[in-house]
Amino acid sequence: MAASGARAVVLFAIQLLLLTFAIIGSGLLVRPAAAETAAGGRVDIGVPGSTEATVEILISEVQSSFNLLLGCLTSDLDKEIRLFDGVISESRDLKRSVVAVTRDSFIDLKFEVGAFPSSFDQHYVSFKEKIHGYDTQEIKTDFALISVKVTWCAPCASVRVGTEKSMAVSKIFRSIS
């Protein structure tokens, strides 16, 4: 009797796992479309029908301190995503940001550069989404050289992992039944 009770608990746990993997694999659980990576880290943003765009900014040849606002528009978002807002006083890398970009669309980056917020110059760069690879552009301002690199990666690993786990749990379930 105890063995059949334990078996029922194991079967229930396996069914719960299968349901969880089915929800994750179908895209019903969606993580935020914008996330930041730690240095060298990778984030799977898991937005169905999108590609991860890792945005890297290098500020070099700094002539004098300046304010920098970096905004991003992507996919069908009406609202700008703020990637950076601060003062640049020396050459440096900005923190990397990961943004979901819908397939066959663009990521637009807006740089507002100036000594005072009332005197910002605006510079724009756009990148067309692609499944893999990277793109670069440079912006030369009176204050510094801004190098932009966008690395593309299709985030399909989370769906594949979920499917593989579901299949493995399915096999276990069949062997217990």
Phi, psi of 64, rounded to the nearest 5 degrees? -160, 165
Q: What is the pLDDT of residues 14-57, one digit of tens each?
A: 665 555 554 444 443 333 333 333 334 444 455 677 888 999 99
Map residue 2 onto helix, strand or coil. Answer: helix
CATH code for the part of the protein at 34-155: 2.60.40.150
Burial class (CB in 10 A: 0-12, 13-18, 19+), 77: middle
pLDDT at 13: 62
Do 84 and 94 meet the contact criterion of CB atoms below 8 Å apart? Answer: yes
**Which residue, 144, 165, 34, 44, is CA-closest to 93?**
144
**Which residue, 137, 69, 85, is CA-closest to 106?**
137
Do 73 and 80 meet the contact criterion of CB atoms below 8 Å apart? Answer: yes
Q: What is the pLDDT of residues 72-87, one digit of tens each?
A: 998 767 789 999 999 9
Map residue 126 onto helix, strand or coil. Answer: strand
Q: What is the pLDDT of residues 4-24, one digit of tens each?
A: 667 766 666 666 555 555 444
pLDDT at 30: 34
- Give rounded-to-5 percent helix, strand, coil for the chain: 25, 40, 30
**Which residue, 42, 156, 59, is CA-closest to 97?**
42
End-to-end CA distance of the chain: give it in Å, rounded.
Answer: 16
Supply the pTM of this predicted model: 0.63
Instruction: Kindly state the tokens that stand for 113.
Output: 């550069």
